[in-house]
Amino acid sequence: MKWKLALSFIISLTAFAYSQKIDEETAIKKLLEKESATWRAKDVQGHLDCWHIQPYSRILVSLPNGQTIDVPPTAMQNEKPETMGNGGFALHSNYKMSITENNAWVSHDEVSTDAEGKRTWSYEIRLLEKIKGQWKLVGQSLHIYKKE
């Protein structure tokens, strides 16, 4: 009888832990989709809400021609609509995540389609922290490998 109770407890605990992980993954995906959409919509405040700049924050972008851009993280705090995206949408796929307490790293693929229908393909690595119970981006590395 005791072993049945212990087994049932272990199964319940495992199910609870798994459901929490799924909830965290869902929250992170929503944040990344919001960050992408607000940038394209020139929504300065919405985009800023996705970020929490830390002293160690870093944003790196590599372009198909081999050029690398080291974007100052403070640019996220001082964003102007004219420097943001020009409409369109992005589709994320192939998410891979590591979530440990209040820290996470996520890699995913992105196909971005601009307002004119031209696509850009990239691999993205995002660094996140949970700040006051909400996931926020603290850094990222974008590797654009193909543009139309």
Q: Which two tokens stand for residue 67?
A: 């050029």
pLDDT in tens, 66-117: 999 999 998 888 888 888 888 899 999 999 999 999 999 999 999 999 999 9
Q: Is the dihedral of CA 106, 31, 62, 71 positive or negative?
A: negative
Burial of 38 (C-beta count, 10 Å sphere; 0-12/13-18/19+): buried
Burial of 106 (C-beta count, 10 Å sphere; 0-12/13-18/19+): buried
Structural domains of the chain, ranges and CATH numbers in brackets: 2-147 (3.10.450.50)
Distance CA 57, CA 12 (A): 38
Least confident of 2-6, 16-20, 42-46, 113-117: 16-20
Residue 18 has pLDDT above 50, yes or no: no
Candidates 127, 137, 129, 131; CA nearest to 105 is 127
Candidates 18, 29, 38; CA nearest to 106 is 29
- At position 115, the amino acid (one-letter code) is A
**0.85 surpassed by pTM:** no
For tokens 């992005």, the residue is 90
Distance CA 40, CA 81 (A): 10
